[in-house]
Amino acid sequence: MANTRDIRRRIKSVKNTAQITKAMQMVAASKMRKAQQAAMAGHPYSLVLNRVLVSLRDMVSADSHPLLDVRPVKKTLVLLVTSDKGLCGALNTNVLREAMLLEQEKTLFVASGKKGASFLARTGRNMIADFALPDNPTFLQTKAISKFCLEKFLSGEVDRVDVLYPKFVNTLVQKPLLVTLLPITDDKAAGVSPSGGEQLIMNATATTGAQFLFEPDADEVLNSVLPYFFHFEVFQMILDARASEQSARMVAMKSATDNAKSLVKDLTLEYNKARQASITTELLEITTAQMALA
């Protein structure tokens, strides 16, 4: 049986760890609420913007803008969105596992997050850019990333732009999702891209309700709105990834705290047993000595 002194040291060590994980849980819970509110706040705006684009597409020709140009895919640019820090469960692992399935020869990567950048460097993937963002990024800060990806698509260096990120479903569920952002398609069929991920689709069913009038004309408005639409979708996905990160970290730290408390109970029980055994042994030795002197 373990020494009581060693058990006491382990109990103290586990209690200290529990205090740290509890503090991290509270911090993550505070950040989680803000991140979730920021992610959810943009959804109504995104839906309205999508409706505007559907109306625009119905008024212009299919080749009216290069962002609508669907061409054979020889090279794909993937924006890999991960966290900068760990201690968030399997969040990054699940996203990076999906990245491993992509064709290495035909895929270029842009990393947002230190975990993704280190993974790409470690596995020898073709990473052409690495962007750092704060915990609460603004639209202008994320626009630097989306502008870089947009320029690669317009120059013809890549034929498709995808985003791989942890999509926020709820506090307990975050799933890795591969979304095709460029080219923007008006396909009304199933929204699945050739890479196996979901595709960003301007769905005609979203146009129910009021009709839009565009001035000076639909083509000019489309030329202004389409790049902005792409920038906003990247911004929204990064906010979604931040909400997923804080939610996963809060759940992971809560689980670690609960496990530490359970371990303290087990160690305390083991300590009491060891202490009781030691007391019993001492009593037996005293009794034996008295009987020997009698």
pLDDT in tens, the chain (294 residues): 567 888 888 899 999 999 999 999 899 888 888 888 888 888 888 888 877 777 777 676 666 678 877 888 889 999 999 998 888 888 999 999 999 998 888 889 999 989 999 999 998 888 998 998 988 899 999 999 999 999 999 888 898 999 999 998 888 889 999 998 888 875 422 233 333 444 444 443 444 455 666 667 666 777 778 888 899 999 999 999 999 999 999 999 999 999 999 999 998 888 888 888 878 877 777 777 777 776
pTM of the model: 0.80
Distance (Å, whole) CA 117 – CA 132: 10
- Classify domain 4-23+256-293 at the CATH topology level: Helix Hairpins (1.10.287)
77's torsion region: left (phi>0), alpha (psi -120 to 50) or beta? beta
DSSP β-bridge partners for residue 127: 109
Residue 206: what pLDDT? Answer: 42
Residues of the chain with CATH 3.40.1380.10: 27-250
Catalytic residue annotation? 88
Residues of the chain with CATH 1.10.287.80: 4-23+256-293
- Pairing between β-strand 107-112 and β-strand 76-81 as defined by DSSP bridges: parallel
Task: Determine the longest span between alpha carbons in the chain, in angstroms.
Answer: 115
Distance (Å, whole) CA 14 – CA 38: 36
Whether residue 195 contacts residue 109, with contact meaning beta carbons closer than 8 Å, is answered with no
Residue 71: what pLDDT? Answer: 84
Q: CA torsion angle for 213, 229, 175, 74 (degrees, to 10)?
A: 120
CATH number of 27-250: 3.40.1380.10
Residue 283: what pLDDT? Answer: 76
For residue 83, give the DSSP letter: -
DSSP β-bridge partners for residue 65: none
For residue 84, give the DSSP letter: S
Residue 294: what pLDDT? Answer: 62
